[in-house]
Amino acid sequence: DQQVKQNSPSLSVQEGRISILNCDYTNSMFDYFLWYKKYPAEGPTFLISISSIKDKNEDGRFTVFLNKSAKHLSLHIVPSQPGDSAVYFCAASGGSNYKLTFGKGTLLTVNP
């Protein structure tokens, strides 16, 4: 039972355009959501997070949107840069449980 789903295995965008990565979840107990970026041969790197009490969090070029009623979140990258090319993981956690539940990831390719 996959509680965090990233339905797009890959996404390709042009440099300078917007990248939108999507994530759906099923567990209503999740109250904290995170995005991680992973380059080959490296561990995941924390990118941005959002609490369930908010619907938007922004950090520079990265914005995460949360729609609790739809159990959906998205990561927007504007403008996209070639260095953003990586696998992006959506992760969720709930209550006092520090365990992170990850999606399968989306490979983003930003073409120059």
Partner 1 sequence: ETGVTQSPTHLIKTRGQQVTLRCSSQSGHNTVSWYQQALGQGPQFIFQYYREEENGRGNFPPRFSGLQFPNYSSELNVNALELDDSALYLCASSRRDRKNYGYTFGSGTRLTVV
For 21, the enclosing helix (H) or strand (E) is strand 19-25
Q: What angle do CA 66, 92, 111 make, to 5 degrees?
A: 70
Q: Does position 41 bind partner 1 by CB under 8 A?
A: yes
Provide the token pair at 10: 């890959």
Q: Does position 46 bind partner 1 by CB under 8 A?
A: yes
Which parts of 84-103 interact with partner 1 (CB under 8 A)? 89, 91, 93, 97-103
Count of residues in contact with partner 1, rule CB under 8 A: 24
Q: Does position 44 bind partner 1 by CB under 8 A?
A: yes
Residue 98 C-beta: closest distance to partner 1, Å: 6
Q: How far is CA 35 from CA 14, 69, 112, in A?
A: 21, 20, 24
Query: Which positions touch partner 1 (CB under 8 A)?
Result: 4, 6, 32, 34, 36, 41-46, 49, 89, 91, 93, 97-105
